[in-house]
Structures are given as structure tokens and as C-alpha cells.
Structure 1
Amino acid sequence: MIECVSCNAKYDDNEVIYNCKECGSVLEVVVDIDKSDVPRETFDCRKDVLWKYKEFMPVDETKIVSLDEGGTPFCKCNKLGEKLGIDLYVKVEGSNPTGSFKDRGMSVGMTKAMELGVDTVGCASTGNTSASLAAYAARAGLRCVVLLPSGKVALGKLAQAMFHGAEVLSVNGNFDEALETVTALALEKHLYLLNSINPYRLEGQKSIGFEVVHELGWKSPDRIVLPVGNAGNISAIWKGITEFHNAGYIEDLPMMTGIQAEGAAPIANSFRKNTMDMVPVQDPETIATAIRIGAPVSSIKALRAIYDSNGYAETVNDDEILAAQLDLARYEGIGVEPASAASIAGVKKLVEEGVVDKGEQVVCIVTGHLLKDPNTAINACTEPIEIDADVEALKKILLNK
């Protein structure tokens, strides 16, 4: 069953619908499973991918479209954690097949597309969604159309979308305008929309929450921190963890903490005013292209996740993001794109502000791989030292160091 998050209107699972017909709000898929029906030991002996939790995925498992997404590294970050004074873990979503967390949602969303029998899928994107959609559409054998804001997409992501065969259209406008355009096409039934406004996309992304509590020994961390752009991921992870809590698998719940770039922070602005109303940011701007979104479609879901979990929202500037990106790479060997580093930058800021207590167990979700935005990574580094191919010259450099 699909349900409106605002007025609770209900819709059939097989109805192609993106917003509530009664009030226009966003929708979510209702999943209700008890541990007496599916004991948590069920998951322990399965392959470590998203579909190990298939009972919680509300789609036809005979139609699954998968690239073995999920089961991403869960790294204990002792050096960086010690520096910040917290018990820090990082969930490395850049290890998914196309290099971002979007693969989880795309697997379930594309499976639903196959179930519905559509022939064309589409999205608007700041990059990662288009890369993922293109790969999964190729896997499923469906036509793929993506709309990207002109000049606003990192090279690695654009290359992926084109290489996997998507029909890429460059829109003279920002992401929000591109999404409005492609949504209109979807409502006219020209394509099946797989942005996060599609409730089945978030059903895949909630598996991040499943994996976090499973890997911690069926316990919730004190806090989960992640970047917020279109705002689907924070609400998806909260949905997954509350589903496990309602099923009786875990006892505690985490504080959901969303981090936005200062130039694209409508969710954080709403949180500061303690309101559910979201005022879009016109012409959002940040080096973190993946979260350069001014009118997130899942703002209601995201704010509810934050408020219901006694969580928090904060902003970080581009300099703080780039510094955190380097810290994560050089302290822990984990390379992420700038948007991913917003979660690390946010934790650092919240520790300094006293919002995050010393000793808290914190899980940061880093959403995309370093090579999604290679130019930013290159610009952050110094030029290589040129030397002759000579042992003595090399020794001189090493001894001077």
C-alpha cells in the first residue's frame, strides 16, 4: 500500500503515482513486518547485498534488477574519531556499483518499473542519480532519459550517464527546474520517473539503515549524520531503522542529523525556525554539486525524520567541506566526493558547538566516490615533484623530507 505522509490517503501498490491526489503531498510505501514472521537470524546467512533484506522490499522478487548493490564497507575511523573525541564509523556508499548510494534505490525502483511493464525511465539529476539510472536501465533493457542542469554536473557523473547509453539532455536551468520539467513528462505517461519523489526509490535506500544496525550487532548508534540535498536519503534511512524497530529487531533509535551546504540549505533553515514549512532557496550554489538543490522534494519526510528522532540540521561552507574531504582521505584512506564530506564537516562543527557529545557513537554516511568529481580532487592537491630517474636524486628528496 502507498500512503500520503500528510493526509494519509491510500493508494494501490500498482498505481503509478508520485504525489497525493488529495493534498499534493509526497507518498511512502507502507511496510509492516514482525520478527515473529521474519526472525532477524533470517538475514545472517545471506549474501551481503541489499536484497538480503528482501522481505522488507515491497516489489516482486521475480523481477529484481540488481548489480549486487549494498553491503558497503562499514569502517571504524579511530584516528579521525580520536581527533574529534567521538566513536566514529563511516558507511562508504561510494563502493556501490556506480559509485554512490543511489544504486540501492535504483535497484528497487527499476524492479518496480519492470513489475509495472514500462518501457522508458527518466530522471532529473545533479549527477549521481543519472549515472545510476543509466546503468540500471541498461541492465533492465529499458530506454533511459536524463535531464541535467547545464554546466552544473561533475565530469565523472556525466561520463557515466552517457557511457551507459542514457539520452542526456542538458537543461538551461538548475536542478529544480529540470525536475519540474521531467515530472511533467512523467505525469503525461511518457516515462516512469525514478527521482526520489518516487516512493519505491527510497525503499532501496532505507537498506543503509538496515545495514548500519545489523553491523553494530542489532544496535542503533547514538547518531547518524549524512548530507542532505533532495532530502530523500535521511528520511529513507530513518524509515528503514524504524521498520526494524517496529519489527522488534532493535530497541533504540538514532538521532538523524542532516548536513547541508550553506548555499543550498532550505532544510537547515526550516529546522532553525522549528517549522515544517520549507522555503526554497533560489539559485543554490556550492562546490558540493550532489547537494546543490534549492527545493528538495522530500523536505516533509526529512524534517519529520529529524524532529521525530530528536535529531539536528546544520550547514557547512565549501571550505569546511573541502577540509573534511582531505581529512577523511588522509586520516582514514577514504576518498569521497565533496557532498559526502559534508557529513564529516558537519560532525566536526557539531562537536565544536557541543551538539554532539564527546564519546557519542556516530555513523557518518558518505554518499559518493572521490572520482565522481575528479577535478575538485585534483585542484585540492599539489603538483607532483619531478625528478630524474636516478636513485641518488630520489634519496635526496626522501632524506630532505
Structure 2
Amino acid sequence: MRAACSECGIQTSLSPMQYSCSCGGLLQVIHAASEPDTDKLKRIFHERRSERNTLYASGVWRYKELIAPDLPDHMIVCKNEGNTGMYQSESLTEYAGVRGLSLKAQSENPSGSFKDNGMTAAVSHGRWLGYDRFACSSTGNTSSSLAMYAALAGVKSIVLVPDRDVSAGKVLQTLAYGADLCTFRGTYDDGIRFLQENAEELGLYVCNSINPLRIEGQKSIIYEIAQELDWKLPDWIVLPGGALSNAAALGRGLQDLFSLGFIERLPQVAVVQAEGASPFHRMVASMRCSGNNGLPPCIEFHSEQQPQTRASALNIGNPPSWRKALRTLTLTQGTTVSVSDQEIMEAKAYIDRSGIGCEPASAAALAGLRKLVRQGDVHPEQTAVCILTGNMLKDTDAISEYHLRNDPSSALRNTMRQVDLIYEAFQ
């Protein structure tokens, strides 16, 4: 398997594993230059949706020809990931202010987040290369996903987690799967830096978004959305942006679908960040204020040293995939927006009350779409898909804070009541 630098284009082998080029650019997998039969692949992908208890029952490996065709089937570590629901809600559509809205609940993945789509590909590739120690830096979702797949594969996972602003539920999930969980003073970005500098010497296979196989696996999210909509995508795809791996993968997947003829047009992509952790949004907004609406790829990026948001999965000040995410915006004529923690928690309450549910970071997508409509960036007659990235039980503290604390700003606050078990109490 080979890769090319996303910045300078120099090609290299992925055996032994590499993550970045000497120029500093991240690598991306190179697929064979042959022209696939798109109509034939559509039929194959459709037939595989009826598979049960096979590799192709996976919502990732259903698209193996477009993700990792050379990876031997017997090396793949799979847990029927993907196949997540896509839901419509009249109340949420009205709340967002658009003509049509669907929510893709990646929160229904086996470990409870979208990370599983990429992690199955990364761990499978590392296993093929012969690694027995897999590592990541994480604010929670990556760690629990890696720990789960490592346990399935019978290999060791080493997880670096900041000692603050991380959901206890995610940490406990990671521990339960048997990871060697190491907390440290610092941020997610410090953990990534450590792994980049020491992984090779320590014999670690890194499973963060700097890993090009992670991005290949996560492409399947947009493949699934497109297939579920009969290969006709909406006007907008809206997603939260933390490390920006999902935005990078989305762009790569959309480029594949368009260039191979699966879709006739590209949707616009909106990346939503929390106000307290929005270096990518600030950069894009600054470029637009300067008249650079074309979003050139070579610009200056300023990280945030102390990001701070209640949506812990977005608490990243130096997202590794920002250049790839910028290319996604350029490709799709997309945009960014930042939302407050209060806007995030209100949107979460609406999603929860609709019966779908999500963690705070996921709700940023709906909050961002609502704000973009109010700003005039999204027209009310347009349609959208919001990607929900994590399960509501990933952060139960957020639920407690919203519903059990006497805060007048919690518009959908729900409380418990104590009753006597008598008929009159329930009339």
C-alpha cells in the first residue's frame, strides 16, 4: 500500500508505517488508477446491504474496493460498524430553519461514535503490518474506539488522555476494554506531538487522524449517506469540527464519489466549532474578511493553546487535519461557523427530546446549521444532513448539568418528581 503527501505530492510506502512527509504534510492513501465500473459497484454495494454476519455486512467494508482493496480480508478487525440510522424530525427541521433535514447518527456505532468507521481500517492495517502495540492521544471517543478494536484483535492499546476536560464516561469505557490508559498534564495536542516524535522508536502504530487509513475508513460515512439517499446528496452536509479528521475524510469521500460518477454534484460542507475551541473557524473567517473566498491552501494557521468548551470532543486547539479540512471547504465551496456552549446544549436538548439523542459535540452540527440559516449563509429552502458523531451516554454529566441544575437558560429542562404510589398522583 502506498501513499502520497497531501502537500508536496511525494509518494512513499506505508510499510513501515509513516504518517507525514519530510515537508510536514500528512499522507493520504493512493488507490490504483484504473477506472472502476461505477454502475457495477452500485449494484454490489446494494447487494451487500442484505449481508448478515460477513465482512461485507459492515457499513465500512461494504465499500472495500474504494477504501483498502489490497488489505487481506482475514486481517480485517470488524464489528459491523457503520450501518447507522438516518433520521428525520419535523421539530428539528423547524428548529434548524431549513426545508429538509436528516440526521446521520454515527452515535449508533459499536463504541458509540463515528471513530469506529476509521478505526476498523487503521487497526486492520496495523495488524497486517505486524504491529502488536497501538496508540492514540484522545479526548475520549478515539480512545474508546481504539481500545475496543484492539481488544477484538487481541493486541495492546496505549491511550494518552489529558487529565482535565475529558468525559468520565469515555475514560471508563476505555478502561473497560482493557487499554493501558495514561493521563497526562497537557492537552490533546501535546499527546499527538509526543506520539509523532516517539512512535517509531517505541514500535507504536498511531491511530489518530494523522493516520491515512483512519481517513480512508471514515470516508465510508459519506458513502453511506449517499447510498441511503439514492446517490443524490442534499445541499449541505454539516458536521462538528474538533481534530477535523471527519471534515478531511468527508472531502476525500466526496471527491471520490464525484470523480467516479456516483454523484452528479457536490454538496456544500459546513464545519462547526465551539467558540472556545475554534482556531479553524477563525482562520477561515479571517481569510474571507480579507477577500480570499477561494480559500487558498497555503495560509497561516494559529492554534489555541488553551481551548475550552463544554463539548469535550471539540476541545482541540491545534487540529492535525486542518489543511485537509480546508481542501474540503475549497472543493465544496463550504464554510465554517462557531457556536457557544449554550447554543450547543440547547441544540442537544432538542435532539435528545426528538428521541435521537447525542453527546454535546454532535449537537454543534445542528446549532451551527441553525446559526448559518439565521446569518443567511444557508437558504431556508435548502436541504441538509447533520452528522451526529457521538452517543448521548458518552457524557452523562452534561445531561445532569442541563436538567438537574436550576438554570433558567435551560429551555427544555426536565426534572424528576417524587410521588406517592396512589392513583391520584398520575391523573
TM-score, normalized by the shorter chain, greater than 0.5: yes
Tell me the CA shift for residue 238 of structure 1: 1.6
Map 1:165-204 to 2 at 5 A: 165-204=178-217
Residue 390 (1) aligns with residue 422 (2): yes
Residue 79 (1) aligns with residue 102 (2): no
CA distance, structure 1, for counterparts of residue 195 and residue 30 of structure 2 = 26
Q: Which runs of 5+ in 1 are unaligned?
A: 396-401
Contact 2:137 2:143 in 1 (8 A): yes
- Greater mean deviation of Cα atoms: 53-62 or 212-221: 53-62
Map 1:254-273 to 2 at 5 A: 254-273=267-286
Tell me the CA shift for residue 218 of structure 1: 0.9
Counterpart in the other structure of 1:161: 174
* One-letter amino acid of the structure 1 residue matched with residue 348 of structure 2: Q
CA distance, structure 2, for counterparts of residue 107 and residue 85 of structure 1 = 34
Q: Provide the secondary structure at the position in 1 that maps to 2:344.
A: helix
Counterpart in the other structure of 1:7: 8
Residue 226 (1) aligns with residue 263 (2): no
CA distance, structure 1, for counterparts of residue 155 and residue 196 of structure 2 = 18
Aligned counterpart in structure 1 of residue 218 of structure 2, from 197, 200, 205: 205
CA distance, structure 2, for counterparts of residue 40 and residue 185 of structure 1 = 42
Give % identity. 38
Deviation by residue 1:256-313 (Cα, 9 ceiling, x = unmatched): 1100001111110111122632110110000000010000000100011012210000
Q: Provide the secondary structure at the position in 2 that maps to 1:213.
A: helix
Counterpart in the other structure of 2:133: 120
Contact 2:344 2:364 in 1 (8 A): yes
Deviation by residue 1:203-233 (Cα, 9 ceiling, x = unmatched): 1111001011111111121110000000110
Map 1:371-386 to 2 at 5 A: 371-382=393-404, 383-386=415-418
Tell me the CA shift for residue 345 of structure 1: 0.3
CA distance, structure 2, for counterparts of residue 187 and residue 323 of structure 1 = 44
Aligned counterpart in structure 1 of residue 301 of structure 2, from 274, 278, 286: 278
Q: Provide the secondary structure at the position in 2 that maps to 1:156.
A: helix
Q: Provide the secondary structure at the position in 2 that maps to 1:69.
A: coil
Q: Provide the secondary structure at the position in 2 that maps to 1:168.
A: strand
Map 1:1-150 to 2 at 5 A: 1-21=2-22, 23-31=23-31, 32=33, 34-36=35-37, 38-46=40-48, 47=51, 49-58=59-68, 59-83=71-95, 84-150=97-163
CA distance, structure 2, for counterparts of residue 290 and residue 223 of structure 1 = 22
CA distance, structure 2, for counterparts of residue 111 and residue 126 of structure 1 = 22
Return structure 1 stretches of 4+ with deviation > 6 angstroms: none
CA distance, structure 2, for counterparts of residue 65 and residue 232 of structure 1 = 21
* One-letter amino acid of the structure 1 residue matched with residue 344 of structure 2: I
Tell me the CA shift for residue 240 of structure 1: 1.1
Counterpart in the other structure of 1:399: none
Q: Which runs of 5+ in 2 are unaligned?
A: 52-56, 288-294, 405-414
Contact 1:33 1:247 in 2 (8 A): no
Counterpart in the other structure of 1:300: 323
CA distance, structure 1, for counterparts of residue 89 and residue 398 of structure 2 = 24
CA distance, structure 2, for counterparts of residue 57 and residue 152 of structure 1 = 34
Aligned counterpart in structure 1 of residue 348 of structure 2, from 292, 307, 325: 325
Deviation by residue 1:342-371 (Cα, 9 ceiling, x = unmatched): 000000000100101112110000100000
* One-letter amino acid of the structure 2 residue matched with residue 197 of structure 1: I
RMSD across aligned positions (CA): 1.3
CA distance, structure 2, for counterparts of residue 374 and residue 203 of structure 1 = 31
Residue 251 (1) aligns with residue 251 (2): no
Q: Provide the secondary structure at the position in 2 that maps to 1:113.
A: helix
Deviation by residue 1:13-36 (Cα, 9 ceiling, x = unmatched): 423101102x11111112356342
CA distance, structure 2, for counterparts of residue 128 and residue 85 of structure 1 = 30
Aligned counterpart in structure 1 of residue 337 of structure 2, from 302, 314, 322: 314
Contact 1:284 1:293 in 2 (8 A): yes
- Greater mean deviation of Cα atoms: 353-362 or 42-51: 42-51
Deviation by residue 1:109-164 (Cα, 9 ceiling, x = unmatched): 01101110001000000000000000000000111100000022101100111000
Q: Provide the secondary structure at the position in 2 that maps to 1:70.
A: coil
Q: Provide the secondary structure at the position in 2 that maps to 1:314.
A: strand
CA distance, structure 1, for counterparts of residue 301 and residue 108 of structure 2 = 32
Contact 1:35 1:249 in 2 (8 A): no
Tell me the CA shift for residue 80 of structure 1: 1.4
Aligned counterpart in structure 1 of residue 392 of structure 2, from 370, 383, 387: 370
Counterpart in the other structure of 2:408: none
Contact 1:60 1:112 in 2 (8 A): no
CA distance, structure 1, for counterparts of residue 284 and residue 325 of structure 2 = 10
CA distance, structure 2, for counterparts of residue 118 and residue 35 of structure 1 = 32
Counterpart in the other structure of 1:398: none
CA distance, structure 1, for counterparts of residue 329 and residue 226 of structure 2 = 18
CA distance, structure 2, for counterparts of residue 34 and residue 86 of structure 1 = 37
CA distance, structure 2, for counterparts of residue 394 and residue 299 of structure 1 = 54
CA distance, structure 2, for counterparts of residue 380 and residue 372 of structure 1 = 15
* One-letter amino acid of the structure 1 residue matched with residue 128 of structure 2: E
Q: Provide the secondary structure at the position in 2 that maps to 1:28.
A: strand
Contact 2:143 2:159 in 1 (8 A): yes
Tell me the CA shift for residue 243 of structure 1: 0.7
Contact 2:247 2:325 in 1 (8 A): yes
CA distance, structure 1, for counterparts of residue 41 and residue 203 of structure 2 = 42
* One-letter amino acid of the structure 2 residue matched with residue 53 of structure 1: Y
Contact 2:131 2:203 in 1 (8 A): no
Map 1:340-355 to 2 at 5 A: 340-355=362-377
CA distance, structure 2, for counterparts of residue 210 and residue 241 of structure 1 = 8
Q: Provide the secondary structure at the position in 1 that maps to 2:47.
A: coil
CA distance, structure 2, for counterparts of residue 33 and residue 66 of structure 1 = 27
Q: 1:11 to 1:189 in 2, by over 3 A?
A: farther
